[in-house]
Amino acid sequence: MSSDVTPMAAPTGALAKPDPDACAGVVELVTEYLEGALDAAVRARFEAHLADCDGCDIYLEQMRATIAAAGHVDVERVAPATLDGLIAAYRSARGA
Amino acid sequence: MASGEPGVTSRYAAAVAATQDAAFQPTPDDVALVAALRDGDERAFATIVAQLHGPLLRLARLYVPTSAAAEEVVQETWLGVFRGLDRFEARATFRTWVFRIATNRAMTRGRRERRDIPLSALLDPTEGPGGPAVDLERFLAPGEQWAGHWAVPPERWAPDAATHLLAKETRALIAAALESLAPAQRIVMTLRDVEGWSTDEVCAALEITAGNQRVLLHRARSRVRAALEQHLATAGPA
């Protein structure tokens, strides 16, 4: 792991805010938009852009579909033997 | 009651404090859960272990080098949880508290097992692959008319993509995409989108600011979307 701070290779650079009027900026703002973290002025420009741009509208829709699909991913389960061992330990520590 | 003065309190401390201050109200579910656990309710214990064991393993993997070490850290965490139940003060959600215990144990274990890695770097959004959400070649280049607009826009996923997205194969693809992420990106997207935790809870459990959480989540989701796009383009309509 490098100790250098690598600048984010966003089209607009590390500190500049992505431009909600450009598609390349919209794709960087989409998470802030969905999180409700954009300030009102940027949000208005973002939504105006989306209303007028099929590509970005589709992109946002795909992002929502991705999030929804992630909710159906199979999660790692605790091994039955591990669970049994933990319950036994819990019983001896807390049980009646 | 540690309400810091603005300007003195760092953004980090403020973000953490916001999720665990005196105004925090435990949910009825949490109150009932903790009461059951204190009471020796084995079914309640088994349920919470089943829910949190997987996410805790991912958390532990941020700090320890092997899955065997992570498994040990998580088992130690559970022992710590039921021994510490009487000290739980409900100033954050129960699972946040469990995560904090796991983080402490994993950090101790990680320090013992490998060379020092600055701990602050582990959940630093600048760690791990960054880069744009979408390959820049898909946008019109600077200097051209409509610079920054789509040159190769995404194509609408077929109407049956919703079913496609639930297919076993697609779920496996998303799981693989998650595995390929930097560990910090992976734990954030796992908690938010796979496990359905709120932003506040993820920030409190991982002790990161909302801003850093968003950067990690953004990179993770962007990568997973790109993997899905590629998959759905080659898989075609069902």
Q: Which fold has domain A23-94?
A: Arc Repressor Mutant, subunit A (1.10.10)
- With CB atoms and an 8 Å threshold, state whether B75 touches A53: no
* Claim to verify: residue B153 and residue B99 sit in the same structural domain: no
Residue with tokens 């450009």: A22
Nearest-CB residue to A31 (from B46, B54, B217)? B217
B148/A23 CB distance under 8 A:
yes
Question: Which residues of chain B neighbour A93 with C-beta distances below 8 Å?
Answer: 79, 82-83
B77 within 8 A of B56, measured Cβ to Cβ: yes
pLDDT tens digits for B68-108?
999 999 999 999 998 899 988 878 889 999 999 999 999 88
| B152 within a domain of the structure (yes/no) | yes
What is the nearest CA distance from B25 to chain A, expressed in angstroms?
23
User: Position of tokens 């996410």?
Assistant: B55
Query: Residue B17 belongs to a domain with what CATH number?
Result: 1.10.1740.10
Q: Does residue B129 sit within a domain? A: no
Q: Fill in the amino acid letter for B182.
A: A
Q: How far is A49 from chain B (nearest CA, A)?
A: 11
Best of B174, B180, B213, B215 to mutate (most A CBs within 10 Å, chain A): B174
Which residue range(s) make up the domain with B162?
136-235
Of B38, B149, B154, the CB nearest to A22: B149
Give the residue-averaged pLDDT of B56-77: 91
Q: What is the pLDDT of residues B5-19, one digit of tens each?
A: 444 345 545 555 555
Does the structure's ipTM exceed the value 0.85? no
Q: Residue B139 pairs with which residues in a beta bridge?
A: B150
CB pairs under 8 A between A and B: 173
Percent of chain B having pLDDT more than 90?
50
Residues B172 and B86 both lie in one domain: no
Shared domain for B111 and B151, answered yes or no, is: no
The verdict on residue B146 lying in a domain is yes
pTM here? 0.81
Number of domains within chain B: 2
pLDDT score, position B70? 92
CATH code (residue B222)? 1.10.10.10
Structure tokens at B124: 């630093």
* DSSP result, B133-196: SS-GGGBPPTTSTTTTSBSSPPPPPPTTHHHHHHSHHHHHHHHHHHHTS-HHHHHHHIIIIIS-
Residue B201 in any domain: the answer is yes
Helix count and strand count (H, E) for chain B: 11, 0
